[in-house]
Amino acid sequence: MSMFRGHFYRSLDPKGRLMLSPEFRTAAADMGSEESLMLTNFDGCVVGYPLPEWERIEDSFNRINMLDSRLRNFQRFFISGAMEVKLDKQGRVLVPPHLRQYAGLERDVVVAGVGRKIEIWNQNTFEAKRKEMEATFDEDMSALAEKGFELRL
């Protein structure tokens, strides 16, 4: 099963286009999304999903409790921020202005593979998040173990 892994330092061009790495283009194609991705706002970055994965996410929203205003607000934020973007012949996607603004994307970005999705980060924010994670790594791993999460490394 194909997955997105690793991270790549990239640059947005003046029009807001981002060239995906060949590895990420291949993974997207293997996941059934050769020509387009769905981008949305989440967790301070822009996330990108292959279309079949996005359809599963949308379907999961059909099962939420619509009486809970927090869930409605999250659905509104997450789904209304989404846009399907096409990959051009050079393997670039246009990151829409509202998503670039949300994530603070300027010229220098990091495209991170996180399993079934990609994340597009402002480079400085990404590096700060990594340092933050490094500082609390042991504590976080212990907390996960206490909750029964089993990770085989």
The 10s digit of each residue's pLDDT in 50-91 is 999 999 999 998 898 889 999 999 999 999 999 999 999 999
The 10s digit of each residue's pLDDT in 92-107 is 999 999 999 999 999 9
Q: Give the closest residue to 40 by CA, choosing from 90, 103, 87.
A: 103
Would you say the pTM of this structure is higher than 0.85? yes
pLDDT at residue 1 above 80? no
User: Other CB atoms closer than 10 Å to residue 9's CB: what's the count?
Assistant: 10
User: What are the φ and ψ backbone dihedral angles of 8, each rounded to 5 degrees?
Assistant: -135, 135
pLDDT higher at 65 or 127: 127
Give the DSSP letter string of 57-115: HHHHHTTS-TT-HHHHHHHHHHHHT-EEEE--TTSEEEPPHHHHHHHT--SEEEEEEEE
- CATH class given for the domain over 4-123: alpha beta
- Band (pLDDT 50/70/90 cuts) for residue 135 is very high
